[in-house]
Amino acid sequence: MIAASESTALISEALALAQAEMQNPKRDRTVTVRTKTGGTYSFPYATLGAIIECVRKPLTKNGLSFTQMLVAHEGGFRLCTRLMHASGEWIESVAPLLIGPEGGNQAFGSALTYMRRYALTAALGLAADEDDDGNAGEGNEARVSERATNGYPQSAPQSSPQAQTRTEAVKNKLAPPSEKPIAMVSPDQVKDIYDLAGRLALVKGAFSAVVRAQNKRGVSDVRDLNYIEASQLLDHLKMRLNLATSPRDERDDELAVEEPV
């Protein structure tokens, strides 16, 4: 859901000035994706800390600030990202916080950080991830590396299957213990995605195009998405549904009980 103050003239002008001073954040981590054929490819992304470091000064200089708050909703949570101006004007978006099937505090924290990254960069018009159009193979596992990068993707070597097997064995031994696999799309996610597509009256061709546009690998079949990609697709579909069915100035009652993170 997207909402705003009655007037947005001053915040719009200030945001335009701030964006003129912003540069895309430094991509200081990498994600390695393992494809179904056994190959790998990597692309860099910016951590939440790098994003905040990038935007803090331009926002402050132009009288802008932001908050990201958890909102209790139907037994779960939503993330409310609000941009505020010194005049009192504001713009905000609210998106559901989706937790993976493994659950637990660690999964909650990971989902929160992930959503904060995407919500903040979307609100400010920044790109925190490397475009990955050249690696459209459908992968079945991704690993997040804590090693810093210089902002360049690490391409997988093109070699024989035997050489790839040996290379992967060495990588697995040398991989830092912090690397964790990303699960595939869950049955509940698949059900929710198709339900939202039906409510939006998306025909098969249009639906496939939406799915493909919402993931960097160009995957058009929902069942081949990983958990994070499916979460992002759900966020997109829910936002489209909210925009299609709610007046711009309508806000949920639960925003009154928001608590800062």
Domain extent listing, the chain? 2-183, 184-249
Per the structure block, which two tokens stand in for 85?
A: 């101006």
Instruction: Work out the pLDDT band at 77, boundaries 50, 70, 90.
Output: confident
In this predicted structure, the answer to whether residue 169 has a pLDDT above a threshold of 50 is yes
The reported pLDDT for the residue numbered 100 is 58
The reported pLDDT for the residue numbered 68 is 94
Q: Tokens 């990201």, residue?
A: 68
Beta strands in the chain (DSSP E): 2-4, 29-35, 40-45, 64-73, 76-85, 90-96, 139-145, 259-260
As beta bridge partners, residue 42 has: 32
Report the half-sphere exposure of 45 (CA within 13 A, side-chain side): 17
Q: What is the pLDDT of residues 86-105, one digit of tens each?
A: 999 999 999 888 775 556 67
Instruction: Work out the pLDDT band at 257, boundaries 50, 70, 90.
Output: very low
- Spatial neighbors of 160 by CB under 8 A, at least 6 apart, are none
- Spatial neighbors of 179 by CB under 8 A, at least 6 apart, are 32, 143, 144, 145, 146
The reported pLDDT for the residue numbered 102 is 57
The reported pLDDT for the residue numbered 86 is 95
In the predicted model, what is the mean pLDDT of residues 51-80?
91
In this predicted structure, the answer to whether residue 208 has a pLDDT above a threshold of 60 is yes
In the predicted model, what is the mean pLDDT of residues 192-209?
85
**What is this structure's pTM?**
0.49
In this predicted structure, the answer to whether residue 116 has a pLDDT above a threshold of 50 is yes
